[in-house]
Structure formats: C-alpha cells, structure tokens
Amino acid sequence: MFDELRKPGGKLKLAVPRGALLDDVLGLLDQVGIDTAEARGDSRSLVFDGGETTLVTMRPSDVPTYVSAGAADLGITGKDVLLEQNDRPVFELVDLGVGRCRMVLATQKGDVAPSEHQRRLGMMKIATKYKRIAEQYFAEQGRQVELVEVKGSIELAPLVGLADGIVDLVATGRTLAENNLEVREEILTSSARLVANRVSYRIRSEEVDDLAARLREAARKAPGES
C-alpha cells in the first residue's frame, strides 16, 4: 500500500482530519461504504486501507496543503481552515454538516462593547489563531485593530493583559465561560467540507463526483441536518 501512495492513478487518496472532527467524519465515510475499521484502531500508522479509497490522516490545518499539492486527491477539513488558507487552491465540493462551530469575537465579561472600547481608546488589541480571517473581518467593518497571533491557549490573552479580546472558534462556549469570557460578535459559522485537488477533479471527475454525491446524501440524512 505504501508503494502505491506516490504513484499516479490507483485508489483515490482521501485526507482525513485527526482530532475533534475524526469520529464524525469516519461515521459519514462508513455510511457511504468506505471501510474505516483500520482508521478506528489503535495503530500509530497515518495511512489506512479504506477499500475503495486510501485514507491518509493528518492535522486539519494540513489538509489544504496536501490536497492543493496533489498529494491527496480529496480532503476533509473545516471551513475555517479553508478561509484562513485561501491561498491554497482547492475545489470545495460538499458541506458535510458535521463539526459545526462559530468563529467569534470574545472579551472578558463586564467589559464595554468592543465598538465602545475602540471609540474610547482608538485601537483594540485582538489575539487570534486566525489572523487572515480576523484581518478581513475588521477591515470590512472599517475597524482598526492590532492582531496578536497566538498558537496555544488563546483564552489566556485577555486574562493577563496581552489583548483586549480574542477571535476564536467556539462550539458550546464552555471554555469561554470558564475563563470569564463572553461572545460579543459572531464572525462566521464553520463545518467540515469535502475538497478536491483541481487536477484530480478534472481527470478523475467520475470517481470524485460519485463520492461527493454519496457524501452529500449521507450529510443530508444525518441527524440534525437538512
């Protein structure tokens, strides 16, 4: 199997995100007949035989890199990742509906509204892992902010005075609440998307379109989705 990974043709290679999205994504793949048994095991391997496809597991943020370069024909990652890495050319095919979350601007509870803060002090300092998305959001509103890129526990930034607020993804909001933060503005919603390499989409369109259609139908039937 490993020898086939670098060869053209053969099975479609599908980049699958590890982490929070993995279980939901594997569930959808099960529904369309892709074998996820190996990927669900305790192996430390990163490549698995999915029957009709080869599953390649990686960090969600790496999916656009592998797909745009042609190292994977298809990939699944969050819309937030695609927006933050919009310089990676891929075709977005299907909103899979799983992994739904919101990207928000949050500040400490009891703070004045961000707009009032800016009126009083001129410029806000915002910590974020999503610098490109945040930059575009504030630019579209004509608001001047200083962005501080943080890779780790971003909720810490307002608590120790590094920033006035944060732009980050939230699902339930529990982590924000536990760190005395609250949502002040919603920037966008995100969910997992199926994307394709442009060349693979052109030369293997029948296979790609077939898998995309099956996943679209599985996503449509998923509980809580329409």
Pairing outcome for strands 181-190 and 101-108: antiparallel
With cut-offs at 50, 70 and 90, classify the pLDDT of residue 226: very low
- The tens digit of pLDDT for each residue in 17-61 reads 999 999 999 999 999 999 999 999 888 899 999 999 999 999 999
**Are 120 and 70 part of one and the same domain?**
no
pLDDT at 72: 97
- The boundaries of the domain holding residue 108 are 101-189
19 located within any domain:
yes
β-pair partners for 15: 56, 75
With cut-offs at 50, 70 and 90, classify the pLDDT of residue 225: very low
226 located within any domain:
no
- The tens digit of pLDDT for each residue in 142-197 reads 888 999 999 989 999 999 999 999 999 998 889 999 999 999 999 999 999 999 99
Domain tally, the chain = 2
- The tens digit of pLDDT for each residue in 66-92 reads 999 999 999 999 999 999 999 989 999
Residue with the two structure tokens 């994977």: 72
pLDDT at 42: 82
pLDDT surpassing 70 at residue 216: yes
**Are 106 and 158 part of one and the same domain?**
yes
**Are 95 and 107 part of one and the same domain?**
no
Angle subtended at Cα 133 by Cα 194 and Cα 117, rounded to the nearest 5 degrees:
145
For the residues 124-153, what does the mean pLDDT come to?
A: 93
**Are 111 and 83 part of one and the same domain?**
no
Q: 95: domain CATH number?
A: 3.40.190.10
pLDDT surpassing 80 at residue 102: yes
178 located within any domain:
yes
153 located within any domain:
yes
